[in-house]
Amino acid sequence: MRVDLPARRFSVVPGVPAPVVVTITNTSEIIAGCTVRVLGADPDWVEVDQPELSLFPDASAQVRLLLTLPVGVPAGPRRMAVQVRELTDEQAVAIEEIVVTVPDQPGLDVRLDPVTVTAGRRADFGVVVENNGNTVLEGRLRAEDPEQKITFTFTPPGYSLAPGESVTGRLRTRAKRPVFGSLAVRPFSLFVDDGVRRAPLSASTTAPVGAAPGAPVVPGAAGQGVASPVPAAAAGTKTLAPPVVGAGTAPGADAPRPVAQGVFVQKPLFARGLLSLLGLLVAVTVFAVVIAVGLSSVLARSAADRDLALQVAQARFDSSAATGTAGVSGAVTLISDGQPVPGVAVEIFEASDTTAVVATAATSDTGEFAVDSLPAGDYKMRLRGAGFAEVWYPAGATDAEAEVVSLSSGQQVTGLSVLLGGVPATVSGTVLGEDAAGAVAELQIPLDSAVLAGLVDPLTGAAAPPALGDGAVVRTAPVGGDGTFSFAAVPSPAVYDLVVSKPGFSTQVHRIDVAAGEDRSDIEVSLLEGDGSISGLVTSASGPVPGATVVATYGQGVVQTVSLTQDEIGSFVLRGLQTPATFTVVVSAPGYASATLSVNLAEAQELTGLSVVLGQSAGNLSGQVTVPAGTSAAGVAVTVSDGAVTRQTVTRSSEPAGSWSIGGLPLPATYTVTFSRADLESQVVSVTVDGNGAVSTGPVDVTMRAATGRITGVVTQTATGSSASSPAANVQVTAASGSSTLSVTSASTPQDRGAFVLENVPPGTYTVTFSRKGTRPTSSIVTVVAGQTVELNPQLVSPASISGTVRAAGQPVAGLELRLFVAEEFGTAAPARAVVTSGADGTYLFPDVDAPAHYVIELRSATGTAALATSPALTIGQSDALTYDFSLDSLS
């Protein structure tokens, strides 16, 4: 039987069925049947369309296996095998190994709870970090606020999460508290520094009515969304790749995207309400004087007039305090990118009177709101938020443009949607340099922004983030002779790339986050000539490395190139570098571990001869497991781990049996290799793999021994009345250690008489006891080590016996019959336990008597049946030698 597979390696995404086609050929000369199964996988993971089939000689058939790994399976390679077993008498088996690789699917979810906190000087937020991927993630959290007025403290400062794990921590914010005025709204963003590539955050864009299909949506003036034309390069030819989030993001490279956002709302020390209260007290005083003057006229009114006034006031109160069973609910989203807007005030007015608020609510962290207990009637809604333009539902600037929402008794109007836009912001700053005049400043929407999500095609096979400075241009302003620039009516809130360029100078790109309605005026950009260069060679242990990516960063400036793939293979040149400066140079290539260097350039320096050696990104460990004779070397579990990465496999059952191999191990690293199987003693080996994949110890070969030991030997016993000993059969051998007890009986067959073996004895200290009926037991203490055989050859003392002499008239009597009965059975129909005859000297012997016990001896003549004498009840203990003599006066 021959088995063929189209491939030996498969990549299987958990939850997605993966077909594997197996071709089976009958190479015998008879019709053969066979069964097909997959080894190394849970049976629930595999579906076989033909588990059993029959084949004519030289015929072939295809069996389709459908492999579905459950969601949550850790990433990495898994070794499995397709087994085809013949159903004939020979039971031939064909096994073909396959390697199933589960790709890495990292995923991290970070949430703030609550999203908005109103406090004074200090506020605490709950932070929930959850690993919803299939790889181990480690990192730290950090926070940034646009005004840089908040200090942040995380407890704990970092995290290390296995797949499915989560951790809840605390974020403490502190900021200087305002003395007077209204509430100070301080938004901030959370970032993850983990060096792990993550999928882009999902975002949706909302195009205003009338926008051209496919046109990107950018924030517009006065908080309205407008369709902005995007250059052809941004609309169809540029690409988006997942941003790299974490400490590995170089300054000036694509800025990390926030994973969560929050708002710290600070109350002033002396609120505006306190000042209003003082004015109110003055007004109340004046009002009291007026009331006192008119009180006399009020008292003069008749009782009927007073009662009527009270009734009218009571009616007005009852009317104003009325409640109902109707309600409205909906959601508020940002017009620029469709993200929910928390903390927005929702005010309900009667349609006929938009001066008095009937009910209020605030949007949650998901942007949702709900107002209940409204009476039936017609209403209008106003939505206001700090830094956002006031909107009357659904998109009116005034109450006259608001849409009326009619409610009947008990009616719940849901799904109301309101788009909110930020108040236009102002961005200004200064370009520093000897000759800043003539430079041009641009505000661009980054290509990885949610506004452009889905509008720019990704590069085929691209692994790097999109280049900075190639986004959609929103505003352009010239730089004056004094180096200043300014952008008015900037759509907000939004994230922009500020690009400053001038011929002959290095283009400078700064990522800025503009809050709603913010006046950003503290920006400084250095415009420097790019007159430096770095050149060198990228190599590895196997020679020059072509196509390696070389990135040099300084501040927020980035210069990138690749090593040559022909001519001087592996060489590279980075030109147009600002000097003097210190650059961080990162070199990476597929299949290799990245290398990072720090390079100092003096003014106008052209550095040459930089040598970069790349090590392998992943290595391989393999070896051979040897087990005790008589057992199979297959099925030994092999676990390789460095604390962060863990890989597992089992030893092969096919030739060479006991071999194993695990690939895809990060380098360089020190790994702990553990070998285990239920019947074998586990072994642990530590190995070091360098950056080129070389293993410090070579192949990892181990010899394992049994996990249990043996106790064996031969039991002998001294014969009654003699010093000679012989093997003793039917001796009970018991080994006890704590609550564990093992027992066996010594052999009674002639060739093995007295021999015993206690198998599968767990390691430990045991008390071994040897006992036999009629014999005092003996014990020994032994220590059993895994894989060891302990030999014990005990000698038991003589068994219990009864002897004596029969005399008549003082003379020995021979030939008389003596019968031994158990005392409790004497006089019943029970037979005698033993019968002996007195010897020529009148002596008799009952050897090997069960003890302890009570016996009676009956003396009879050799020919007669009448008892001549009977002994009293005789008590005998283990290994006792009891003597009882019979004395007869005469014999009839």
Q: Where are the beta strands (DSSP E) in 194-312?
A: 196-197, 217-219, 225-227, 244-245, 260-266, 270-271
Q: Which amino acid is at 518?
A: E
Which of 803, 823, 821, 820 lies closest to 886, judged by CA? 803
Structure token pair of residue 109:
């979810």
Contact criterion met (CB below 8 Å) for 500 and 431 = yes
281 Cβ partners below 8 Å, 6+ apart?
none
Sheet of strand 595-601, all strands in order from the earlier edge strand to the far edge: 557-562, 549-554, 581-588, 595-601
DSSP, collapsed to helix, strand or coil, labels residue 581 as strand
Distance of CA 397 to the CA centre of its chain: 50
Q: Where are the beta strands (DSSP E) in 529-578?
A: 530-540, 543-544, 549-554, 557-562, 571-578
DSSP character for 796? E
Quote the Cα angle for 95-99-105, to 5°: 155
466 Cβ partners below 8 Å, 6+ apart?
238, 239, 240, 241, 254, 446, 447, 448, 456
In our burial notation (b when 16+ CB lie closer than 10 A, e otherwise), range 792-801 reads bebebebbbb
Which of 515, 496, 341, 498 lies closest to 425, judged by CA? 515
Structure token pair of residue 110:
């970070």
Sheet of strand 137-144, all strands in order from the earlier edge strand to the far edge: 116-119, 260-266, 184-193, 137-144, 158-161
Contact criterion met (CB below 8 Å) for 420 and 383 = yes
**Phi/psi of residue 283, nearest 5 degrees:** -65, -40
CA-based radius of gyration for the chain: 47
Rounded Cα distance, 337 and 219, in Å: 8
Q: How many residues does the chain have?
A: 892
Residue 759: how many CB atoms within 10 A of its CB? 11
Rounded Cα distance, 546 and 677, in Å: 45
Contact criterion met (CB below 8 Å) for 379 and 348 = yes
Contact criterion met (CB below 8 Å) for 580 and 601 = yes
* Max intra-chain CA distance, the chain: 158
Distance of CA 463 to the CA centre of its chain: 25
Residue 494: how many CB atoms within 10 A of its CB? 25
Which residue, chain included where needed, has tokens 């929407």?
445
Structure token pair of residue 787:
């894989």
Cα dist. 273→346, 650, 770 in Å? Answer: 21, 73, 96
Rounded Cα distance, 466 and 449, in Å: 11
Which of 816, 811, 812, 809 lies closest to 864, judged by CA? 816
Contact criterion met (CB below 8 Å) for 634 and 657 = yes
End-to-end CA distance of the chain, in Å? 92
SS (H, E, C) 368-397: EEEEEEECCEEEEEEEECCCECCEECCCEC
Rounded Cα distance, 468 and 511, in Å: 9
Q: What is the pLDDT of residue 672?
A: 92
Which of 87, 59, 67 lies closest to 2, judged by CA? 59
DSSP string, 593-636: --EEEEEEE-TT-EEEEEEEEEPBSEEEEEEEEE--TTS--TT-
DSSP character for 706? B
Facing residues of 581 across strands? 601
Rounded Cα distance, 769 and 735, in Å: 6
Rounded Cα distance, 643 and 653, in Å: 29
Q: What is the pLDDT of residue 392?
A: 93
Quote the Cα angle for 541-546-549, to 5°: 105
DSSP string, 727-762: E-SS-EEEEEETTEEEEEE---SGGGTTEEEEEEEP
Rounded Cα distance, 555 and 478, in Å: 23
Q: Which amino acid is at 176?
A: K
Contact criterion met (CB below 8 Å) for 253 and 473 = no
State the pTM of this model: 0.33
Structure token pair of residue 560:
């990138």
Structure token pair of residue 282:
């003055």
Rounded Cα distance, 413 and 78, in Å: 54
Q: What is the pLDDT of residue 277?
A: 64
Q: What is the pLDDT of residue 790?
A: 92
Rounded Cα distance, 214 and 212, in Å: 6
Which of 330, 343, 321, 323 lies closest to 403, judged by CA? 330
Averages of pLDDT over runs of 10 residues in the chain (892 residues) are 85 89 86 86 88 86 90 82 78 83 86 88 90 84 90 90 85 87 84 58 34 37 34 33 35 65 84 61 58 47 44 41 80 83 90 89 91 91 84 89 90 89 86 82 78 50 49 86 88 85 75 83 78 88 88 80 84 83 88 86 85 82 86 88 89 88 84 89 87 80 87 91 85 89 91 91 91 90 89 91 91 90 89 91 91 91 77 91 87 58
Which of 510, 501, 506, 504 lies closest to 528, judged by CA? 506
Q: What is the pLDDT of residue 74?
A: 81
Contact criterion met (CB below 8 Å) for 520 and 426 = yes
Sheet of strand 368-374, all strands in order from the earlier edge strand to the far edge: 368-374, 326-334, 412-420
Contact criterion met (CB below 8 Å) for 66 and 45 = no
831 Cβ partners below 8 Å, 6+ apart?
none
Cα dist. 510→494, 500, 781 in Å? Answer: 14, 9, 80
Rounded Cα distance, 431 and 188, in Å: 27
Q: Which amino acid is at 112?
A: L
Structure token pair of residue 332:
């508020």
Q: What is the pLDDT of residue 453?
A: 53
Contact criterion met (CB below 8 Å) for 642 and 648 = no
Q: What is the pLDDT of residue 274?
A: 57
In the chain the domains, ranked by start, together with CATH numbers, are 2-102 (2.60.40.10), 425-526 (2.60.40.10), 530-614 (2.60.40.10), 618-703 (2.60.40.10), 709-796 (2.60.40.1120), 800-888 (2.60.130.10)
